[in-house]
Every structure is written in structure tokens, then in C-alpha cells.
Amino acid sequence: MAHRFKVLRRFRFNLPQRIAACLLALFLIQGFWLISRQTLTDRDYQYARCGRETWEKPSPLAGYYTSCGNIHDGILVYRLAGLPLTLNLLAERALDIFRKPENRVVQSSGAELSTWELRHQMTHILLLMRLPFLFAGFVLGGCIWWVTRRLYGNLGGYTALALYCFSPAILKACVAPDADVLAALGVYGGVYTCIGVAHAMQGPRRKWRPRIVMLTVIFGLAAAAHIATLPVTALLGLAAMLWVAEGHRSQILPVVLAAVAGALLLLFACYGFSPDAFSYVFRSSAGFLWVSLDPAQRFFSTLTNSGVAVACCAAIVLYLLARRSRYFGNTVPLLCGVVCMVLVMTGAPGSPWLWSLPFLITFVGGVFADAYEGPRGRLARVAAGALVALQAVLCVLSLPGLA
């Protein structure tokens, strides 16, 4: 018990944490604003119906996992979209005993209402479906802040987090049932957890186990978000670990393989331990990837991404010119961002370029942090502040009803 209180005492909510919390609060406000301007679509009903089936009745049709078929790309998006509705329905059932018979959600005949009919019984159904994905975006922002502040200091963390919180592409992915923000969280968290495991391997073995368990869970999140995410995360993480873990490189591959095996077991659990539905993941073409420069061209040529685009270009120039910026902490996010940016999915819908944004934003924060400490640090801080302000203005103006 004393150890737990000691851990709690280590947590501080000082000025840096308060500024980060304000930025994340602005991110949530923008997300709620976007949600308030949305309406339910047929795609929403598909995710809601099939998501509820994964929790309430996994086999509505003979031979298929859900009425959407055997889900082969990302089971987690369906489960997260359906979970709030299922929990809300359970709460409504409990409250039925206090309602008049004609006002009950579940009628005395035992027939349950469909998702379409439940919209008239359950309040805020659109918000409930989107909360898990907005929360995932919030957690990803917290991860970016933790990594960048730990590596680059407060100013580097502020820069990266501000660019993230005012990214229209990220916000759009967080306000709809979508696997990309979950996949981005899995890839980013997986790579940096791999680095953490590699650093832990330089110390006593008692510190290995909790980090390997965490790595397995994050790999499981990546696999459940989209099956193509797991090999990308594992390969990028393996490369980073081989770079860091000098003297322990022979143990790196077994650790990664064990984490991948555990992740597949977690993915099997997400399919309700249904062998047929789970096997369909590997019989489909959902994991097929190819390379293309089209996603990068579209992202960097979009007006609302101008602040991030200019910041990335400036960071690359500084990285090439300043020798002090070319080190492991900056090189890893740059390489990971470039790899994810050029990937395209050929077997299932997906946007791997979105997975690259957290890495590119981390890279920008790291290179700019080096510039802040250089001989022209004041000029670098003013220029970075102008880019962040530009991105914030473009993001806010892109919100519906504010332009």
C-alpha cells in the first residue's frame, strides 16, 4: 500500500501539465462541436447494429459472425461503436421496472427494439457511438505529450501537442466510427513501448515483465484495430529495439514474437473465441499493403493542413542541416512517419497515412526543440509559434458553422 501512495505522490499537475490539459480540452471541445453538427447515417447504423451483435448475439446468421458478415479488417471499431449502446440498453432494461408498461424499452412480449427503433428510446445515440473514438484521440494526444515532453522538454511537447490538437484530419477520424484513430494509437504506442522494453532490457530482469505485458496489450489493440496494423507495428518496433538494445539483440526477436503471439490471442478473444470468424481474418485480403505517394501529395497539398505541412518541411530542412538534430530520438519518428505515409491498403478500407501523423508531429517537436536551444532560439520560438497559430486558425475555420 505504501508503494502505491509513493507512486501517486510522484504525479504532479504543475504548469506544464495544466497547459497540456488545456490543449487536450480544446481538442475535446472541437470534437464535441463536430459531433453536434452531425446526423446519423446508414454507416452509423451498420456499425451500431453489428457492434451490438458482437456483444449481445454474436451469431445472428448461420455461418457469419454478424449480419455484416465475418469482420476481417478491424473488430475493435465494431465493438467500441456497439458497446455504449449495449450498456445503455442494459441500463434502460434495469429502469424498465420503474416505468409504465407502455413506456418500457423492452416490451412484455420480450421482443427487443432494433437499433433504428432505439433512437426514439435512447438519448444521445450519436454521441454515445462517437465517444470511444474521441476518447481514443484524446489518449493518443496524451501519449504524444508524454513522449515528446520526456524526450524534448516542455517546449517541444507543447509544439507537438498543439499541432496534434489542431489537426483537422485527426479530428475528423475521431468523430466517426472509424478504425484509423485506433490503428494510429496502436502503431504509435506499440513503437514507443518497444523502445521502452529495449531500454528496460539494459537493466534488471524484474523490470522486463511489466513492459512486455504492456507491449502485448498494445500489440493486441493494434491487431484488433486493423489486422494490417500488427505487422507494421511489429516490424517498426523490432527495428527500433535492435537499434537500442546493444548487448541484448539476441533476445529482441523472441520478445517481439511472444508479444505478437499474445496479441493474436487477444484478437481471438475479441472475436468471442469463434474459430471460424477468427480464421476469416487470415483468409481475406484485408492485410494487403502497397506503397504510393498519393496520400502524401493529398495531405501536404490540403489547405487546412498547411501549418503541419510547413512545420514538417522546416523540420526536415533543420534535421538535414543541423548535426545535433540527427540522433535516435528524432530519426525514429521521421522514419516511422515516412514508412506509414507511403503505405496504402489494397484489400480493405483504411488510411495508413493517418498513422504517420503522430510520428511526424513528434519529429517536428523534437527538431524544433533543438532549434529552441540553438544560437537563434528566440527566432525559432517565434517562427514555431506562428506555425502553430496558423494551424490553429485553419483548423478552427474548417469547423462547420464557424467559417
The residues pairing with 9 across neighbouring beta strands, listed in sequence order, are: none
Whether 116 has a pLDDT exceeding 70, the answer reads: no
Residue 102 has pLDDT above 80, yes or no: no
Average pLDDT over residues 195-220: 89
Average pLDDT over residues 67-83: 85
Structural domain includes residue 100: no
- Asked if residue 265 belongs to a domain, the reply is yes
pLDDT of residue 46: 85
Which cell numbers hold the place of 176?
Answer: 466517426
CB 148 within 8 A of CB 365: yes
Domain count, the chain: 1
**Is 26 a domain residue?**
yes
**At 115, is the pLDDT very low, low, confident or very high (cuts 50, 70, 90)?**
low
CB neighbours of residue 357 within 10 Å: 27
379 within some domain: no
Set of cell numbers at residue 298: 493529398
* Residue 353 predicted with pLDDT over 90: yes
Q: What are the CA-CA distances from residue 190 to residues 67, 127, 198, 215, 226 (Å)?
A: 32, 28, 12, 6, 14
Domain-located, residue 108: no
Helices (H), 322-376: 328-341, 352-372
Least confident of 43-47, 109-113, 167-171, 179-183: 109-113
Q: How confident is the model at residue 1 (pLDDT cuts 50, 70, 90)?
A: very low
Average pLDDT on 238-247 reads 88
Residue 321 covered by a domain: no
Domain around 201: 15-37+128-288
Give percent above pLDDT 70 in the chain. 90
Instruction: Provide the whole-model pTM.
Output: 0.91
Least confident stretch, 59-73, 130-144, 172-186, 365-379: 59-73
Residue 77 lies in a domain: no
For residue 142, which of 30, 23, 236, 230 has the smallest C-alpha distance? 23
Buried b (16+ CB within 10 A) or exposed e, 76-85: bbbbbbbbbb
- pLDDT tens, position by position, 260-317: 999 999 999 998 888 888 888 887 877 788 999 999 999 999 999 999 999 999 999 9
Element (H, E) at 379: helix 377-398
Q: Strand 343-345 and strand 289-291: pairing?
A: antiparallel
pLDDT band of residue 105 (cuts 50, 70, 90) is low
**Does residue 250 lie in a domain region?**
yes
